[in-house]
Amino acid sequence: MGEFDPDLRLARFLPRTLVTKRTAGPIRWLTQLPTSRPPAGGEIVHVDANVTVRVFRPAAPTTAPVAGVLFIHGGGFVIGSAAMGDALCRRISTELGVVAASVEYRLAPAHPFPTPLEDCYRGLSWLAAQPDVDANRIAVMGESAGGNLAAAVTLLARDRGKITPAMQLLSYPMLDDRTCDRTDVDPRRLRVWSPSSNRFGWRSYLGEASGAVPPLAAPARYEDLSGLPPTWIGVGSHDLFHDEDVAYAARLTAAGVPTTLHVVPGAYHGFDLVETRSAVSRAYRREQRRALASTLGEGGDVSDAA
């Protein structure tokens, strides 16, 4: 068994399984507590009756539209809220000079596929329509289950042909329901998100539908990946999603999509959210911001600070 990165000191104390059918309700309640309060330095905008976005704009006024970033939070489709992206979106907006919006989508199992995906697409449509946003320079960014939704939104945008994202940035994305069937996973290497959590999350998202899994629900099943924008995928070597993420990056490359795969040795699922001050987490976030700045052409130097 490979060792955890020594800088991730909490790894040995964290549970292998955090989200289950029993714990999802209380965790969902806790993660949604901040959703009604406007974020510091930002605002809450109602896109429609079901979807809101938490929006951060550059402090300095601009004379021309700037790039945009749509952030989609994680939580295995069953927990989490847009407020989880406040600190990151505020940082991105300030540092890169972009409009950053974190979308509040409805959660499974009460709202299975395709509702969360369509909610996120509504967030993208809203962002692209803003007069201070350059619709041709929008990055779609997501973490974990949010990485799934970011990948699916990017595919959906390509297929619908109304919005053309400039980039997709996928952080340890939850892309392939078939990982639930694996029997070769060593649970000792995992933290926070385990095979049992994964099965619960996927069952909740896919609902009671029988037959073939819709490819937009599990982007790893999508056959045609051509014509997608430049992609950055990051994942730890001790993440349950490592293999499916590496495989997706390879398929994107084979389809002619400029793709950067950033693997963090010895890192577990969500390490940068749990151990935010560690050097390995700061470096990971810095690489994300550099990728955004390089692709979107916005902002000055990316800070080395956390």
Supply φ then ψ for residue 181, to 5 degrees. Answer: -90, -5
> Who contacts 1 (Cβ-Cβ below 8 Å, separation ≥6)?
186, 188, 189
Q: Is 239 among the catalytic positions?
A: yes
HSE-CB at 201 with a 13 A cutoff on CA atoms is 30
Spatial CA neighbour of 251 closest among 232, 231, 225: 225
Q: Is 144 among the catalytic positions?
A: yes
Distance from C-alpha of 7 to C-alpha of 4, rounded to nearest angstrom = 8
Which residue in the list 81, 93, 102, 144 is annotated as catalytic?
144
Which residue in the list 5, 119, 134, 239 is annotated as catalytic?
239
- 207-212 long-range contacts (CB < 8 A, ≥24 apart) are 207/108, 207/109, 207/112, 207/113, 209/112, 209/113
What Rg, from alpha-carbon coordinates, does the chain have?
18
Q: Is 73 among the catalytic positions?
A: no
Distance from C-alpha of 223 to C-alpha of 240, rounded to nearest angstrom = 23
The answer to whether 257 and 231 are in contact (CB under 8 A) is yes
The answer to whether 108 and 77 are in contact (CB under 8 A) is yes
* β partners of residue 106: none
Which residue in the list 73, 242, 269, 278 is annotated as catalytic?
269
State the catalytic residues. Answer: 144, 239, 269
